[in-house]
Amino acid sequence: MYKEYNTNQLSLELNLAYDIPMNHEVRLISLFVDSIPSQVLLEDKSHTGRPAFHPAMLLKMTLFAYARQVFSGRKMVQMNEEVIPMKWLSQDTYVSYKTINNFRSSKHANNLIKTAFIYFTLLMRENGMIEDEALFIDGTKLEADANLYSFTWKRAVDKYEYALNGKISELYDQLVQEGVNLAL
């Protein structure tokens, strides 16, 4: 059982959607999470007790915070209180740091966030928010000697683009998870 969650619900309160541009990253995150099938997003929970926050809302908040390099649950709560796009995602409801950390530390959410990170990176590349050239610039820094064969050619980049998706997953494990585990 989950609390009712609908970002398109009109209310008598201040409508925060007016302040967010249509091309803002928070709207892309919201559309992305809304496109995830509910069978993947929802997990079996207890039907007793207080209704939990909807996993879609918590995932949107987590992805937006990660996009802003915020990994601490308490800092996410602070963002929810101060940053208008985060308020829009949570529909201006208070979410405690303990709820956010419990969601992020669950096995289901861990796998969901990792998969979402990979697909969201691909979606941003398709929409032109990330340029392909920027993803490959640092590849030449791996080889220390500056000779003719240490330069990365465009043809080689196209050839190994498939392997890049695997490296995106490794990058997630290395960068994001270390920051998240330290923040928890």
88: closest CA among 31, 35, 3? Answer: 31
What pLDDT was estimated at residue 86? 93
Q: What is the mean pLDDT of the chain?
A: 77
65 confidence band (pLDDT: 50, 70, 90): very high
21 confidence band (pLDDT: 50, 70, 90): confident
The dihedrals phi and psi of 92, each to the nearest 5 degrees, come to: 55, 35
Q: Are the CB atoms for 116 and 64 separated by under 8 Å?
A: no
What pLDDT was estimated at residue 126? 79
What pLDDT was estimated at residue 74? 94
Q: Is 7 helix (H, G, I), strand (E, B) or coil?
A: coil
Residue 52 pairs in a beta bridge with 2
Amino acid at 177: Q
What pLDDT was estimated at residue 112? 86
Mean pLDDT, rounded, for 25-39: 87
**Residue 22, both tokens:** 């249509």
Q: Tokens 């998969």: give the residue.
A: 115
Buried b / exposed e across 38-63, counting CB within 10 Å, b at 16+?
eeebeeeeeeeeeeebbbbbbbbbbb
For 74-132, the pLDDT digits (tens) are 999 999 999 999 999 998 899 999 999 998 888 888 888 888 877 777 777 777 777 66
Amino acid at 12: L
Q: Tokens 């941003």: give the residue.
A: 124
Q: Tokens 């490794």: give the residue.
A: 170
Give the pTM: 0.65
What pLDDT was estimated at residue 138? 43
Question: What percent of the chain shows pLDDT beyond 70?
Answer: 71
What pLDDT was estimated at residue 15? 63
For 131-155, the pLDDT digits (tens) are 666 444 444 444 455 555 655 566 6
